[in-house]
Amino acid sequence: MMRGIDLQMLAAANDGVLTGENVAVTGVCIDSRKAVNGDVFVALTGSQLDGHQYIANAAKQGAVAAIVEKIQDISLPQIVVTNSLYALGIIAKVNREAYKGKVVAITGSSGKTSCKNMLAAILEQVGNVCATHGNFNNEIGLPLTVQRFNEHHDYAVLEMGAAKSGDINYLVGIGQPHISAITNINEAHIGGFGSIENTAKTKAEIYKDLPSEGWAIINRDDNFASDWRESLSAQAAKGQLIECALTDSYANVYASDIEQNVEGLRFNAHVRLDGSASQLPIKMNFLGIHNVRNALMAVAMAKALNVSDADIIKGLAVVAPEKGRLCRVAGRNHLQLLDDSYNANPQSMYAAIDVLVSFSGQEKNSIAVLGDMAELGSDAAAMHFNVGQYAALAGVDCIYVVGEFAAQTLAGFNQQNDSETLASSLLAQSFSSQDALITQLLSSECESSVVLVKGSRSAAMDYVVSALDVSSDAINLAITGAK
């Protein structure tokens, strides 16, 4: 947190009442177990837990004050507010308004975490960076990220997630970015948005209220690019709109000579801004052509911040995918695992299937191990069917499914198999449990295969990866019953 922020300042910003001594605040926490000296503890209330019950423990850990919705019988300074979750956002906003560095915000239906990490790695070549950790991108996580800003940070990179209309608008009000980008729009969380159009409208709120010196980055390949371009005429007139595309040379930033192998990606990034042009040879430890587009978005944001080509190249060379985001993992039974278990939506399923097929070939079988995709609304069954169909068309040798929509995914795969008379070696199976699926993957039938593991967070497909990962000995022994 920035210097000079105290309880009286936070109380005033929240129209709250401070009881007790006014002291300086150096951080914010919502988990009493993680409180440290100087923290203010925000007592959030939910359906399962009430943070007010843990104020004493927070104080014991070093918290100097608490934000509460009702005064507590404890000798600790307290600010009484109407809504502690809303207060968390206001506290972060106070810190943001004191911050003098540059703030970048990234949203999108998929790819935003990878894009955020790529940009952070680039900016770390030229300064100190505060970036979103993990999935701290919602109405709780983003304020916790913003309150970490301090005078030592030259840049801040924020990931903004949304599950319903209005979410991005709220987060932008807290983060107040100088540069905003949308990676793409697809069916992710469409159950909460109601339609793809509402998804796009919500994500586009990230471009709202950009400052006069602000930059907007758009994905020219996206179906909603023309809508964004029209709404960003002011930025375009000032030369502060950058369009990215995978290979479209009309874009300001695009790629050519794309190559992919087991080690990652290589391509040339072409940049045309302010009448000048450059070509950057990029090498990355990422899989999937979709990550080329994520990298191009990161390049565009870096150029808006005047980062040199050399530093962009160095940053992209050192960044690596987070666990569960299309990572290569050595598996038991001589399996080559593609761990993409962190999350899933139809478009990311298609992209991961493409990578799976590209790494199998004649000598290795490809197995798609797929769990459910969540929050897809009334069209969920059809979308799962389409994924199965896509896997068959792409040439996946075998598909193993588990979950509520396993039958639909399997039906799509099998229908395409029948209609196209694909190779008889195609296999499709549904499993009642992940343990049964794991047992099959450890059988001689699957030995030495390339295996994609993917599903939404609620599908917990990371359990499958952990059971097969050769480095997870304790879990492996527990599942196999080995002594």
Count CA atoms closer than 13 A to 252's CA, side-chain side. Answer: 22
So what's the pLDDT on residue 92? 98
Distance of CA 344 to CAs 90, 170, 186, 241, 321, Å?
A: 32, 25, 11, 30, 16
Query: Helix 112-123 vs helix 290-304: angle between axes, to the nearest 10 degrees?
Result: 40
Structural domains for the chain: 7-87 (3.40.1390.10), 99-318 (3.40.1190.10), 327-480 (3.90.190.20)
Q: Which helix (H) or strand (E) holds 284?
A: strand 276-284
So what's the pLDDT on residue 196? 86
Read off the pLDDT of each residue in 348-359 and give the average, rounded to a whole number.
92
Task: Tell the burial category of 243 from Cβ atoms under 10 Å away from its Cβ (0-12, 13-18, 19+).
Answer: buried
For residue 304, pLDDT beyond 90: yes
Neighbours of 57 (CB within 10 A): 14
Sort strands 78-80 and 65-68 into parallel, antiparallel or unpaired: parallel
Read off the pLDDT of each residue in 439-459 and give the average, rounded to a whole number.
95
The model's pLDDT over 458-478, given as tens digits with 9 standing for 90+, comes to 999 999 999 999 987 544 444
Structure-block tokens of residue 362: 């004649």
For the chain, the maximum distance between any two Cα atoms, rounded to a whole number of angstroms, is: 77
Q: What one-character DSSP code corresponds to residue 342?
A: S
The model's pLDDT over 49-62, given as tens digits with 9 standing for 90+, comes to 899 999 999 999 99
The model's pLDDT over 206-241, given as tens digits with 9 standing for 90+, comes to 999 999 999 999 999 999 999 999 999 999 999 999
Q: In what order do the strands lie in the sheet with 336-340?
A: 327-330, 336-340, 450-454, 366-370, 398-402, 427-431
Read off the pLDDT of each residue in 114-133 and give the average, rounded to a whole number.
97
So what's the pLDDT on residue 64? 97
The model's pLDDT over 7-25, given as tens digits with 9 standing for 90+, comes to 999 999 999 999 999 999 9
So what's the pLDDT on residue 418? 57
Q: Is 25 left (phi over 0), alpha (psi -120 to 50) or beta?
A: beta
For residue 190, pLDDT beyond 90: no
Determine the residue type at 172: V
For residue 336, pLDDT beyond 70: yes
So what's the pLDDT on residue 475? 47
Across the chain, what does the average pLDDT equal? 92
So what's the pLDDT on residue 415? 83
Residue, of 192 and 279, whose pLDDT is higher: 279
Distance of CA 18 to CAs 65, 143, 475, Å?
A: 10, 21, 49
Q: First vs last Cα of the chain: how many Å apart?
A: 50
Instruction: Please say whether the dihedral angle defined by the alpha carbons of residues 472, 478, 481 and 483, taken in this order, is positive or negative.
Output: positive
Assign 361 a pLDDT band (cuts: 50, 70, 90): low
Determine the residue type at 477: L
For residue 387, pLDDT beyond 90: yes
For residue 483, pLDDT beyond 50: no
